[in-house]
Structure 1
Amino acid sequence: MNEILKQIKNRKSVRVFEDKEIPSEVKQEILNAAFEAPTAGCMMLYSIFDITDENQKKKLSVTCDNQPFIAKAPMVLVFLADYQRWYDSFCFEECDIRKPGQGDILLAYADAIIAAQNTVIAAESLGIGSCYIGDILENCEVVRELLELPDYVIPAAMVVYGYPTESQKKRKKPVRFEKEYIVFENKYHRLSKEENKKMHSKRNEKSGLADNNINEYIRKFCKRKYMSDFSLEMDRSAAEYLKKFK
């Protein structure tokens, strides 16, 4: 297995970092990796905020579901799906144009996430851990004001980076679902109830979960994640952001 595949395989979310700064040249290499990512029509439909202000980091740690480790991270980047830049370009040249739509922002969202993932793999190769913070999509009004976001920009992801502690290095990576439930040939296969339960059961067995009551596991997971307050808030905020994209 080559080094890149090894890094992809070994990479896991890190939420506890050493009290150690990331050197500026290393930070720049991580950022540079984003610019090499695939991008729709070479438009680079994303912007990146380098959050260096400590107060701003603290505020984001609160708006992002009260997660203190965000404020302690040595490096925090916010990846934005950004159609404002190109829309402004068209307006400046007085093109006969429409307002950005939902397809445009989905394309920009893909660009932003692909760029973010490039930085995550680059960081891993440099011995730096990372963690995606999907909660950046919550609290639309507060985040929009805090980051001074214009109409056609939506936060796609926040990623925190730092040197992992020894305990984080040793922590086992969560088990993924098996390939047969994820990869389909040519067309979608909707899992039956039995297949669905087997999918969860296999993963839970590999994860070493003592309680393999799949029915109860799914019910608890639904309550803890899908029906949680933060998930409902994220859904509300996403709808608010998308109002601009008709």
Structure 2
Amino acid sequence: HVIQIGEVGWDHEADWREGRESLIVEGAEKINDVADKSEVRMLDEKLSRACVDHIKRIKKSGDSLGGVYEVVVTGVPSGLGSYVHWDRRLTGQLAQAILSIQAQKGVEIGDGTANIRRPGSRVHDEIFQDDEAVFRRRSNRAGGLEGGMTNGMPIIVRGYMKPIPTLIKPLETADMITGETQPTRYERSDVTSVPAASTVAEATVAWVIANAFLERYGADTLEEMVVRFSATSRL
């Protein structure tokens, strides 16, 4: 789902986190269903309408917009990835997957940049044992990943996309033959591709998680894989 496009988005991190958390208990599919009802894939209807109006204003000015989106993965078992091998750390693989998409300039996992302003006591997720003797965490600031591996909590990944460079209003460039300053040639331009990028990111993240799952539980057949997963999930 999309968090922000241009200047329009949630005013406070707590607001969009709360909006997401109310849906995440029903699984990532619920978040996707709600996002698909919005033209810009936002979870809040009022914010979605404001964003559409903002896009229309920017279109009239001949400009383009970037933004932020978030991919949520639920139902992920703990132990996917590696805390030893640098190239198998799931955090690195997810970051590479997001940044491999055109125009992506940043990636964030969990509370990410918000954690740099907090003391450690407000960053790390406390662990407790529930009534069924299962170890759980009281929060998910880590975004489901610790030490390069999944910890059983939902995976939260955000991508930051720059505005696309094809503008109706031309910028200056240089003629490669004469060296003279020239306006760029207009070909075509979307005002923003952030909603589309969120869908592409969902697919790339799914591939990374599926690959990590195969590395952990891989077998010659799907039936064998299910048996292996079922056996370890009971431990």
TM-score using structure 1 length:
0.29
More helix by share: 1
Name which structure has the greater RCO, CA cutoff 8 Å, separation 6+: 1
More strand by share: 2
